[in-house]
Each structure stands twice: as structure tokens, then as C-alpha cells.
Amino acid sequence: MSSPGSTKGFLQRCLIVVAAAALASCGGGGGSSGGSSGSSISAPPVSKVEAFRFLNQGSFGATEAEASRLIALGDSNTAYTRWIDAQVAKPASLLLPALEAAYPNPVPQGFNIGSLNAVRLETWFNNVVYGEDQLRQRVAFALSEIMVVSQVGALLNLPNATADFHDMLARNAFGNYRTLLEEVTLHPAMGVYLSMLGNQKAVAGTNLRPDENYAREMMQLFSIGLVELNTDGSNRLDASGQPIPTYNQEIIEGYARVFTGWKWACASTVTTCTFANTRPQLAPATGYNQVKPMQLFADQHETGTKRVLAYSGSTLTNGTIPANQSGAQDLKDALDNVFNHPNVGPFISRQLIQKLVTSNPSPAYVQRVAEKFNNDGSGVRGNLKAVIKAILLDKEAHDPSNPLTAGKVKEPLLRVTQLWRMYAKSLPEDKRFIFKALGSPSFVLGQSPGQSPSVFNFFSPFYAPPGEIADAELKAPELQLANENLQTQLSNFLFRQSQYMTSRPPSWMQSQSGNVIIEIEGEMKLADNVDPLLDLVATKLLGSPDAMSPTLRAEVRSQLRRWKIEPTFTDNPYTQRSEYLDNGRHSRVADAIFLTVISPEYAVQR
């Protein structure tokens, strides 16, 4: 089998086109300002292209089967809502049970508990590729990129805590943001990661004072951001036209004093438990404290007054928590104070829109969602189910007409999961494939669940590449991962997946053990005719043959025609007999898939 000499040059041109198109198509601030989708006298049916667009926003990748189910749910006024309601009703796929099952019993000498992080990652990929609770997992993933914990650092040897933190996000994905904020605050994974766990009151005459880490990040990243916002997400300005800071050092210190006295919860088998001697149990057991909310030790809690946020409508006089309250009451007052700040709605809503729909939602879009956060229609604030519905049902989420403002660049991880969800044949027998297929997800993709390099996630929601995008005052968060090394790693992986890890591998590829195998039998039947083959691939990966641009189709057609369909027989040393080789057809199919998944049409979610 010989490879056409122009393949390398064509691949290089494709990668250049991907980068250029991504820069031109990453979203914008001036999109449709139309209202949320509403009822009409005669609503049209949901087209396949529309179904694919919606499912790529609300899942880890559209599939033909799921698109058909969505279309069958009714017209465009009812189908999307019914799909969301059905997804909300599905129970959460969890990670912790898999880690508990993988923990050896008895524990061998020298066992490395950090090795269970691999089980956590394998289970996460299994859930998002094959699981039914797609919307819940997609929202949990979005939340995990806002409220970040990571095994990189202090959590390396606490895999159960990291796994349960994800499960907590999944359980709360459609709950209330106030409940979520408290569960995040008291989760031992967050306690370890941002050093609230073990935070002690000040000791007079020493340099010991409360740690400010969680207090600062809770405000900056998890709730209100750095500057005051209007409901549409735009900055509020002072008399001199400058943004107004949301907090100062005094307020950070006030919250730091609130978050004192919390540490590992006592194990149920322990009769005497103090702040100093509690430790996380390693083995799964009833009540083990890697996953139990942190416990308050009153003698280590700061009991003085605490200055927190002061704003119109706050129930705290002058933004002050009074002295001599219990630690639990201080926590409640502090979290209520943050949750009810007017910034939370637009700050969190905008980021969720960015994660699911578009990098640059219009101010009107942000305002519509933030208003739903502030009041779900029944007087409830922070209803995440209502927020997610408002995001996915909004007119702007369904309008791809503006080439600058519609959509977003897909995160590398989402490009892989979409391919697998559409094409993956089945799980390997041992249900372990990620490290065999991907190697290290962080190395190949630049991101991996629970492995962020810092609390600021893999990329910033405010990132704008220098040049055209920054000059236009637009954002393209995911392009912070689009460096030369990661682009090459991802393209190499997609090449290996489409060329070798298929249900019809090339003749010399004898072993597929442990890999994710993509099913290409339907494509192989069409390989003699290039255009029907391209139509099928474009339908599966882009939602429609028309979604493949004339430029891309011409380039891919030219490449596929270089492969000759000729019957060839060879002696196979493994089977000791002469076998028919179908390498020409296989190469056409593999190239059609590969060149599509590295194209701008696939890389940009529109």
C-alpha cells in the first residue's frame, strides 16, 4: 500500500484553514437580540441540521439516533423543551462508585492511591460518550470549568474527593445555585484545593491569621467577578467612566474569617475527634470523610464581626456579619450575602452561555438569561434548570446567520467526544480505553476533567487572541488552547483514530486491543463513489451534506480520488493464507473522516 505524496501538504493546508476559520468564527457581542423562543400558530418541524446544532450545545456530541428522537418529540415549539425535561429527569451518572469498586481489598503493600485517578477519568469518558444523562453531564462539565478543583497538586492522592466533587456538580446541575455554592464551599475537595480546610482563626501576638484563598476565588470566580455588572453583563461605571470594583481587601479578610474552623468530618467510628487530629480515610467506608461535607470545629472559628458585601437589598446592615454567632450561622449569612448580590445572575449566566452556545452572547441574550436566574417565573432565584432552559431555548442559540456572532470554537475534548459518540462501535471488554487510545488526555488535548493546571481553568472566559478578535473586542476562550503543540497533538490523535482504530483496519494493523473502535461499515459500502461517501460523512459529523462547504468538499474529493480501488491479494503471515486487501476503500473512508474532523466546519460549533 502506498500513500499519495500530496497527503502531507494537504494536511498542512487544512490545519491552516482550521486556525484561520476558527479566528473568524468564534462568536460575537452583537448577535440576535430576539426574545426567547415562544409559541406560534404553526411552528415548523425541527430539521436535522437544527437538531444537530441543539444537541451539540446540550450534549457531548450529536448522534443520528438522538437527533431522530429529538425530531420525533414535536415541532420546534415543543421538541426542545420536551428533550430538556426528559434529560433533567434522568439520574446522574456518577464517578465515585467506580473508584470504590476499584479500591483493592486487601490493600497491597505500597499501593498508590493516586492510581485511582485513572479510573476516575476512564469512568468520566465512558459516561459522557455512552451515558444517557447527556445534558446533566454537559452542564456539570461547564460548572467544573467555573468552580475548579484539580488533582494537579494537593488532591493528587485524594481521588475519591475529586470524583465526588464532580458527582456533586452533576447532582446539582439543575438545582439551585445557592445550594450548589454551599456544597462547593463545604466539599473537602474544594477545602483542600483552595486551603479553606484547616483554616484557623487569628492568634493574637502571632502572624497566624485566616487564609484568604477561598474567600478571594469564591468571589472572583464562583459568584460575582471583579467589577460590578449591569443585568446584561456590561460593566457598571463610576462618574469618571471607570469600572466599579466589587470588593476590596477588607471584604476578602471578612469572608476569610467566616471560613474558619472547618476541617475533615469525623469518621463515624471515631469517638473523640479534634481539629488537629482528623485525617481523611483512604479506604471506602461508611461515612469516610473524603466525600463528607467539612465539619465545623467551633473553637477554631473566628467569632468577631466580619465585613462582607454591602449592596442595595442586602439583609446585612452595612454589609456586616455580627459578632458572636455560630460558625454555621456565619456561613449561612455569608453565602446568602454573596448569592443575592446582583452580579451573580449576569456573571454566571454569561459563562454558562459561553460554555454551551456562543463565546460572545449579545447583551440582550445575557440579560434574558440573567433575569431568569434572578426570578424563574415563580419567585425563585438561582434555579439552574430554568437558567439552562433559557440558554438553550433562546432565539440567539438557534440563529447561526451572523458569521461573527454565532457559535464558538469547540474545546478539543468536545471534538473528540463528538466523534466517538457518532462513530464509536462499542466499549472494549474491560471498559478501559482512554489511556490506551489517547495516552494522556491533558497532553493530547490540553485539557482533561479534574486536571486543570490552576483554579482559573484551562482557558479564561475573557481570553481574546491578539489581532482581529481582540481588536473587535470579541472573546474566543477556547483558542487559548490553540497553540502549535496542542494543535499537532490533537490532529495526530484524530489521524490515528480515523486511519487505524476502525472496524475495518488496514491490513497491517492487527491489534486493536483496548482502543476505541469507530464503525465505518456503512462508509465502506459507499467508498467506490466519492460524493455519496462525503454526503454520509458530512451528515454524521456536520448534520447535513450542505454543511460541508464547497471548498472543503473540493479539497477532500480531490484527495479521495487519489486512492485507487483495485483488488489486491497478499500473503498474511498471521493467518498463513492469501487475503483480499481493501486498502483503497479503507483509505478513502479514513481520509474522508479525518479531513472532516480537522476542518473549520467541524471545529467551530455553529
Alpha helices in 59-152 (DSSP H): 64-72, 79-89, 96-102, 116-130, 134-144
Is residue 158 within 8 Å of 197, Cβ to Cβ?
A: no
Instruction: Tell me how crowded residue 31 is: count the other CB atoms within 10 A of its CB.
Output: 26
Phi-psi region for residue 533, left (φ > 0), alpha (ψ -120 to 50) or beta? alpha
C-alpha cell read off for 297: 470545629
Q: CB within 8 A of 374, min separation 6: which ones? A: 231, 342, 345, 381
Give the model confidence (pLDDT) of 233-289 as tens digits. 999 999 999 999 999 999 999 999 999 999 998 877 677 788 887 766 655 554 568
Please state, in angstroms and rounded to a whole number, the distance separating the CA atoms of residues 152 and 499: 33
The mean per-residue pLDDT over the stretch 405-429 comes to 88
Instruction: Tell me how crowded residue 498 is: count the other CB atoms within 10 A of its CB.
Output: 23
Q: Does residue 493 surpass a pLDDT of 50?
A: yes
Average pLDDT, the chain: 88
Give the model confidence (pLDDT) of 160-190 as tens digits. 999 999 999 999 999 999 999 999 999 999 9
Percent with pLDDT over 70 in the chain: 85
Query: What secondary structure does DSSP assign to 257-290, as a single string?
Result: HHT-SEEPPPPTT-SS--TTT----SS--TT-TT
Q: Does residue 588 surpass a pLDDT of 90?
A: yes
Residue 54: HSE in the Cβ half-sphere, 13 Å Cα cutoff: 27
The mean per-residue pLDDT over the stretch 424-449 comes to 75
Cα torsion for 305, 310, 316, 321, to the nearest 10°?
A: -10
Distances (CA, A) of 328 to 256, 298, 420, 538: 14, 9, 46, 56
Distances (CA, A) of 147 to 57, 190, 222, 452: 20, 9, 6, 11
Please state, in angstroms and rounded to a whole number, the distance separating the CA atoms of residues 267 and 7: 61
Q: Does residue 92 surpass a pLDDT of 90?
A: yes
The per-residue pLDDT for 20 is: 41
Is residue 33 within 8 Å of 365, Cβ to Cβ?
A: yes
Report whether the peptide linkage leading into residue 106 is cis, meaning its omega lies within 30 degrees of zero.
yes
Highest mean pLDDT among 105-119, 311-325, 571-585: 311-325
Distances (CA, A) of 407 to 178, 397, 583: 29, 8, 38
- 134-144 helix and 48-58 helix, angle to the nearest 10 degrees: 50
The per-residue pLDDT for 432 is: 62
The per-residue pLDDT for 404 is: 77
The per-residue pLDDT for 567 is: 60
Give the model confidence (pLDDT) of 281-340 as tens digits. 655 554 568 899 999 999 999 999 999 999 999 999 999 999 999 999 999 999 999 999
Percent with pLDDT over 90 in the chain: 74
The per-residue pLDDT for 425 is: 72
Q: Taking the model in full, what pTM does it have?
A: 0.90
Q: Does residue 579 surpass a pLDDT of 80?
A: no
Q: CB within 8 A of 133, min separation 6: which ones? A: 87, 90, 91, 92, 93, 127, 170
Please state, in angstroms and rounded to a whole number, the distance separating the CA atoms of residues 548 and 560: 15
Distances (CA, A) of 244 to 93, 234, 236, 338, 416: 42, 12, 6, 17, 41
Give the model confidence (pLDDT) of 29-43 as tens digits. 333 334 444 444 678
Please state, in angstroms and rounded to a whole number, the distance separating the CA atoms of residues 456 and 32: 30
Position 13 confidence tier, pLDDT thresholds 50, 70, 90 = very low
What DSSP designation does 506 have? -
Give the model confidence (pLDDT) of 65-90 as tens digits. 999 999 999 999 999 999 999 999 99
What DSSP designation does 457 have? -
Residue 107: HSE in the Cβ half-sphere, 13 Å Cα cutoff: 12
Distances (CA, A) of 284 to 99, 105, 287: 9, 10, 9
Q: Which of 146-150, 421-425, 453-457 has the lowest mean pLDDT?
A: 421-425
Position 584 confidence tier, pLDDT thresholds 50, 70, 90 = confident
Give the model confidence (pLDDT) of 127-161 as tens digits. 999 999 999 999 999 999 999 999 999 999 999 99
The mean per-residue pLDDT over the stretch 367-383 comes to 98
Q: Does residue 5 surpass a pLDDT of 50?
A: no
Q: Which of 234-243, 395-404, 465-474, 500-509 has the lowest mean pLDDT?
A: 500-509
Please state, in angstroms and rounded to a whole number, the distance separating the CA atoms of residues 94 and 172: 12
Position 104 confidence tier, pLDDT thresholds 50, 70, 90 = confident
The per-residue pLDDT for 401 is: 86
Q: Does residue 491 surpass a pLDDT of 60?
A: yes
Instruction: Tell me how crowded residue 564 is: count the other CB atoms within 10 A of its CB.
Output: 12
Is residue 185 within 8 Å of 218, Cβ to Cβ?
A: yes
